[in-house]
A = this chain, B = another copy of it.
Amino acid sequence: MNKVVDNADEAIKDIQDNATLMLGGFGLCGIPENCITALVKKGVKGLTCISNNAGVDDFGIGLMLQTRQVKKMISSYVGENAEFERQLLSGELEVELIPQGTLATRCMASGYGMPAIYTPAGVGTEVAIGKEVRNFNGKDYLMEYAFDADFAIVKAWKGDPHGNLIYRETARNFNPMMAMAGKITIAEVEELVPAGDLDPDQIHTPGIYVHRIFKGVNYEKRIEQRTVRKS
């Protein structure tokens, strides 16, 4: 299998206006920087973005908010972004907030071919409004549907031409589940190695889930909250 494409522009070239995208990452950690840049350059509009967060004003998904490319965000937390707040309050942007574990599990459900899952998160809160509540063993659970996306865009540390992916540290986060949930899954990696170089026991996302892969460039990997102790 050779799923390698040249670069981000090539990888995202068939993403059209009004597409639904999943973007991996937690905060700015493990986000697909190259594809975001390419999406901004391409100028595709009306996007629905499923991503745990919405970036900051001048980085990550924030860059796509500045250019008004995003119609709707589906996230668990969107608090680090003034432009986001402005667009939300002005009604330019829709937002749907989902508990973080529910978000992760709904993506995973898609990759595992399970149409719905049950979670206790949100029972008795406004998150439960309109949802089916079901009791198992004396505890209430919400039924939440699997969701997929036209494109899932993920960032990994290492990858090979088959699309096998290995993530690094907490940059793994949502990337593996979203990789499983894309109708088309695009992976950008820091290191693209020949097939056979990755230990088959250590692969986090088997290539079967990945449709296109490329070696990203110029990773900034910005730190949101640089916190250190005194030496």
Give chain A's interface residues, CB within 8 Å of chain B: 105, 112-120, 136-137, 139, 141, 145, 166-169, 172, 200-202
Interface centre among A120, A139, A201 (most CB of B within 10 A): A201
Q: Are A118 and B119 in contact (CB under 8 A)?
A: no
Q: Are B115 and A137 in contact (CB under 8 A)?
A: yes
Q: Which chain B residues border A117 with CB–CB below 8 Å?
A: 114, 117
Q: Are A201 and B119 in contact (CB under 8 A)?
A: no
Cα of A222 to Cα of B160 in the assembled complex, Å = 33
Cα of A224 to Cα of B115 in the assembled complex, Å = 36
Q: Are A115 and B115 in contact (CB under 8 A)?
A: no
Q: Are B114 and A116 in contact (CB under 8 A)?
A: no
Contact (A115, B112) CB under 8 Å given A169-B200, A201-B168, A202-B202: no
Cα of A112 to Cα of B115 in the assembled complex, Å = 16
Q: Which chain B residues border A105 with CB–CB below 8 Å?
A: 112, 114
Cα of A118 to Cα of B132 in the assembled complex, Å = 15
Q: Which chain B residues border A113 with CB–CB below 8 Å?
A: 119-120
Q: Are A167 and B201 in contact (CB under 8 A)?
A: yes
Cα of A112 to Cα of B104 in the assembled complex, Å = 12
Q: Are A141 and B169 in contact (CB under 8 A)?
A: no
